[in-house]
A = this chain, B = another copy of it.
């Protein structure tokens, strides 16, 4: 395995649209959402293990999830954790990991990947990753993996690319969460891809881009150059992370940089961002009902997703297109077409029932 290859798995999110299964105490990536026997972060780790030296796989997460990560990923040592004392979106976290890798190996090529997506065709995925690593080893560019849009989803970022003969295309434009009309237009135009949130670049390239486009943040994390990979790293991060700008890599870097490219990919991606996308992914009965956990009798009911405690019996009569979720503390019943309101519902629950329920 190439010792220059690194992966940074982003595992700090709380997956609030997946509430009430995903909670602050136990977010989505630490659940076996699909019932495969592996949690999402375990699946993500295993996907890279073999291509990337396992000691080069870093996990970026909030410090409160340290124990969960170490428990679920026994191959990961504490030194491979980037523990955020406070959530500051993706840009600071990626800059921190780039500095940490650069400090160890200035020739490092890094993959940044979310911890909570599913990929059906792992072989195709690894081939795309290998292509990307090769390209980024030789070129001073920032690369993202782009997916052919399956529908005018308004929850994703869209990447407009310059059509060319090359496998890897120059990015013209990013549009985050367009309205429906715009999304439909993008799909018709044909040269738009969904942003997968999986990025590949050399640490040299990404550091240079941060220096140009987010100079304050770059300066802040530069101060830690004598601390990364040393015992003082924790203290440095504890003292400085909280003062960093709170911004995503998309807004802070990718939309501004001129050397961004995209590799169109097709490996059966699902971000499991919502209950609806999970429903899409799960095995279903002849009436398109998907069941996780419990045992359900569906009567005159179609197109539901029902997730209960293991062993719980459920009878659904005359209900179509709903999400039904139950755990020890709580039951949620919500139409699938209102799943974007789950964030609001979660706030409502926080206000009315308290922090323990979100």
Hey, which bits of chain A sit against chain B, CB under 8 A? Answer: 294-295, 297, 299, 308, 312-319, 322, 324, 326, 329-335, 338, 341, 345, 348-349, 352-353, 357
Contacts and interface: CB of A to CB of B under 8 A. Distances in A.
A17 B318 CA distance: 17
Contacts of A294: 331
Nearest to A323: B317
9 contacts: A294-B331, A297-B345, A299-B341, A299-B345, A299-B348, A308-B331, A315-B330, A318-B334, A318-B338
A289 to B, nearest CB: 12
Nearest to A334: B317
B297 A314 contact: no
A338 B348 CA distance: 31
A329 B353 contact: no
Contacts of A353: 295, 297, 313
Contact of A329 (B313, B322, B334, B345): B313
A338 B315 CA distance: 13
Contacts of A332: 314-315, 317
A316 B331 CA distance: 8
Contact of A341 (B308, B317, B333): B317
A111 to B, nearest CB: 38
A319 B345 CA distance: 14
B331 A297 contact: no
Name the residue in A314, A317, A345 with the highest tally of chain B Cβ atoms < 10 Å from its Cβ.
Answer: A317
Contacts of A319: 322, 333, 335
Contacts of A357: 313
Contacts of A335: 317-319
A16 to B, nearest CB: 14
B334 A331 contact: no
A318 B332 CA distance: 11
Contacts of A330: 312-315
Contact of A352 (B297, B317, B334, B352): B297
Sorted nearest first, the 5 A-B pairs with minimum C-beta distance are A317-B334, A313-B330, A314-B331, A318-B335, A315-B332
Name the residue in A322, A331, A353 with the highest tally of chain B Cβ atoms < 10 Å from its Cβ.
Answer: A331
B317 A349 contact: no
A37 to B, nearest CB: 25
A318 B339 CA distance: 11
A126 to B, nearest CB: 41
Contacts of A312: 329-331
